[in-house]
Structures are given as C-alpha cells and as structure tokens.
Amino acid sequence: MGFYDPGVVSSVADPSAAQVRIWSRRPSGLPASRVSYLVADAHQQPFPDGQFDLVWSMSSAELMEDKRKFVSELARVAAPGGTIVIVT
C-alpha cells in the first residue's frame, strides 16, 4: 500500500473487545510487528502526549458522548505539527 511509509507503526483502538478481535484478524498491509490493536476509551486514550504524526478517527466522532473531550484527546496524542483526520 503506497500510502504507508515503510517505517510506520500503527495503533488501532476501539472500545469493543469483539471489534478489536475482528480488526486484528484483517490484513492491514503492514507487517504484524508494526500494528497494535487494543481496547481503549477514546475519551481517555492510553497513549503519551504527542505520540502520533497522524491521528485518524473514522465513523466514530458523531457517536462520542463528550465531543470536546474526544477532540481534546486527538489533539493531545498528535505530535506537534501532526495531522488529525476525522471522517464521519
């Protein structure tokens, strides 16, 4: 997949353990050692500040109970100068 840099590391988080199991069985186009799947709350993400150059939220923003907190968490985990993409 040309979109990914060969050195990319990806983390996929979802509040549903069942959904995380489904995601973890799907090929991502990245080596398995480069992708981690975890159960997590988008309002309290388990990542350090500035962890990601690209933060991507797909089909979930409209479902968030506290949209301000959700967007605040996206900004918190984005690296300085990073990109945040929200797709609904």
Q: For the chain, give every domain's residue range.
A: 10-40, 41-88
CB 31 within 8 A of CB 59: no
Q: Is the pLDDT of residue 12 over 90?
A: no
pLDDT in tens, 29-65: 666 677 777 888 999 999 999 999 999 898 889 999 9
CB 1 within 8 A of CB 29: yes
Question: Please, which pLDDT band fits residue 17 given cuts at 50, 70 and 90?
Answer: confident
Q: Is the pLDDT of residue 26 over 80?
A: no
pLDDT given at position 19: 81
Phi, psi of 47 (to 5 degrees): -115, 150
Q: What's the whole-model pTM score?
A: 0.74
pLDDT given at position 30: 66
CA of residue 55 relative to chain centroid, distance: 6
pLDDT given at position 13: 77
